[in-house]
Structure 1
Amino acid sequence: MLNSVCRFMPLQFVLLLMFCAGAVSMAQEKDVAEANVPSEAAAGGEEVEKTEPPPPPPIPLQPYVVRVEIGSPLFGTLSQADSLRLRDAVDEAVVRMYGSMWVRDVVVSDWLQPGQEVQLRELTNEAMHERYGSTELEKVMLVIVEPSRGGFQIGCREYDVRVQELTPTRTTFTQDWRAVADQSARLIRDSFRPVSFLSAPVSGSDELEFFLQAGQLIPPDSSAAQVVVGDVLRPFLRHMERRNPKQLRYLQKLDLTYVRVTEVNRELTATGLSADDQDVSIEGVTPDPNPHFVDHGRIKGVLISHGFAPFGGRGRGIQQIALRQRPMADSSEVQLVLRMREDRPLICHRVDKVAKLRYRDESDLPSVRLVSDREGRIRIPVDPEHPTFWLYVYSGSLLLARVPYAPGLLDHDVVMLPDDSIRLGVEGELYLFRDELVDIVAQQAVLRGSARQAAKSGDKARLEELIQQLEALPGKKEFEFKLNAIHRPAVDRANELRNRSAVRNVDRLCGAMSSSLDRFFASEKQVEQMKELDQLRRLAEQNASQAAQ
Structure 2
Amino acid sequence: MTRPCPDTLDATVPRSRRQRRTIAAVPAVPFTAVVAVMAAYIALARGDAASKDDSIPSSQAAATSPAVAEGRGPGGGEAATKGAVPEAPNGGSSAAPAAGTSSGRNTQSASETTGPPRSASIRDERPVELRPYRVLVRLGLPRTAAWNEDLRAAVVRRFATVTANTLGQMWSLTVRRDDRLLPCNRIGLERLDARTFAADAESGFDKVYCVTVEPNGGRFTVWSREWDATVQRLGPICSARTYDRRSIGDAVFAAVWSAFEPVVYLKLVDADVIHVRIRGGEYLPAVSEFAPLRPGRILQPVFRHYNRDRTLRAIQPIPWTYLIVDSVQRGRARCHAVSGLRINLGARRRRVETVAIGVRPHLAETEVRLALRNAPTKALVAYRVSVYNRKPDLHKRRGTQNASSERSDAAEDSPGGAKPAADGVESGGRTGGETASTSGRSEDAPKPLILMSDRRGIIRVPADPAKPLVWLFISGGKYLLAMVPFVPGTVERTDLLLPDDSVRLGVVAQLELLKAEFVETIARRAVLMSRIRRHTRKGESAKAAELLAELEKLPDNKHYHDELEAIQFAAVQQAKQRRNRLAESRVKVLCKTVRELVDKFLPADGLQKFKDQLKELEEEARVEAEEVRSPDTMQ
Stretch of structure 1 that moved more, 72-81 or 82-91:
72-81
Q: Superposition pairs for residues 441-460 of structure 1, below 5 Å?
A: none
Amino acid in structure 2 at the alignment position of 1:369: I
Match of 1:168 in 2: 236
Match of 1:515 in 2: none
Report the Cα offset of residue 101 of structure 1: 0.7
- Structure 2 residue 497 is the aligned partner of structure 1 residue 417: yes
C-alpha contact 2:138 2:209 (8 A) present in aligned 1: yes
Match of 1:301 in 2: 335
Match of 1:207 in 2: 273
Per-residue CA deviations over 1:478-534 (Å, capped at 9, x if unaligned) read xxxxxxxxx9999754444x4x6x559999xxxxxxxxxxxxxxxxxxxxxxxxxxx
- Structure 2 residue 212 is the aligned partner of structure 1 residue 140: no
Q: Structure 1 residues 344, 55: closer, same or farther in 2, change over 3 A?
A: closer
Task: From 299, 311, 323, give the equivalent of 2:345.
Answer: 311
- Structure 2 residue 242 is the aligned partner of structure 1 residue 242: no
- Structure 2 residue 186 is the aligned partner of structure 1 residue 117: yes
Task: From 222, 227, 250, give the equivalent of 2:288.
Answer: 222
CA RMSD, Structure 1 to Structure 2 (Å): 3.3
Match of 1:369 in 2: 450
Larger Rg: 2
- Structure 2 residue 173 is the aligned partner of structure 1 residue 107: no
3-state SS of paired residue (1:314): coil
Report the Cα offset of residue 117 of structure 1: 2.0
Per-residue CA deviations over 1:183-238 (Å, capped at 9, x if unaligned) read 22112111111000011356xx4531101111111112322121222211011111
Match of 1:6 in 2: none
Amino acid in structure 2 at the alignment position of 1:355: N
3-state SS of paired residue (2:361): coil
Match of 1:62 in 2: 131
C-alpha contact 1:153 1:172 (8 A) present in aligned 2: yes
Match of 1:381 in 2: 462
C-alpha contact 1:61 1:214 (8 A) present in aligned 2: yes
Report the Cα offset of residue 407 of structure 1: 1.9
- Structure 2 residue 245 is the aligned partner of structure 1 residue 181: no
Match of 2:543 in 1: none
C-alpha contact 2:370 2:498 (8 A) present in aligned 1: no
Report the Cα offset of residue 118 of structure 1: 1.0
Amino acid in structure 1 at the alignment position of 2:230: R
Moved over 6 A (4+): 422-425, 487-491, 504-507
Match of 2:386 in 1: 352
- Structure 2 residue 299 is the aligned partner of structure 1 residue 233: yes
Per-residue CA deviations over 1:313-344 (Å, capped at 9, x if unaligned) read 21122111000122223443433333333334
C-alpha contact 1:348 1:371 (8 A) present in aligned 2: yes
3-state SS of paired residue (1:133): helix
Stretch of structure 1 that moved more, 95-104 or 385-394:
385-394
5+ residue gaps in structure 1? 1-52, 266-295, 426-486, 508-549
Match of 2:227 in 1: 159
C-alpha contact 1:398 1:421 (8 A) present in aligned 2: no
5+ residue gaps in structure 2? 1-121, 392-431, 506-567, 586-635
C-alpha contact 2:471 2:484 (8 A) present in aligned 1: yes
Aligned partners of 1:121, 1:385: CA distance in 2, in Å? Answer: 27
- TM-score scaled to structure 1, two decimals? 0.58
Q: Structure 1 residues 384, 155: closer, same or farther in 2, change over 3 A?
A: closer
- How many residue pairs are counted as aligned between the two chains? 356
Task: From 395, 411, 424, give the equivalent of 2:476.
Answer: 395
Q: Structure 1 residues 190, 64: closer, same or farther in 2, change over 3 A?
A: same
Per-residue CA deviations over 1:250-300 (Å, capped at 9, x if unaligned) read 1112122211222222xxxxxxxxxxxxxxxxxxxxxxxxxxxxxx21112
3-state SS of paired residue (1:345): coil
Q: Superposition pairs for residues 270-349 of structure 1, below 5 Å?
A: 296-309=330-343, 311-349=345-383
C-alpha contact 1:142 1:157 (8 A) present in aligned 2: yes
3-state SS of paired residue (2:268): coil
C-alpha contact 1:197 1:213 (8 A) present in aligned 2: yes
C-alpha contact 2:301 2:355 (8 A) present in aligned 1: yes
Structure with greater strand share of residues: 1
3-state SS of paired residue (1:74): coil
Q: Superposition pairs for residues 435-446 of structure 1, below 5 Å?
A: none
Match of 1:452 in 2: none
Q: Structure 1 residues 237, 359: closer, same or farther in 2, change over 3 A?
A: closer
Report the Cα offset of residue 367 of structure 1: 2.8
Aligned partners of 1:251, 1:505: CA distance in 2, in Å? Answer: 32
Match of 2:588 in 1: none
- TM-score scaled to structure 2, two decimals? 0.51
3-state SS of paired residue (1:179): helix
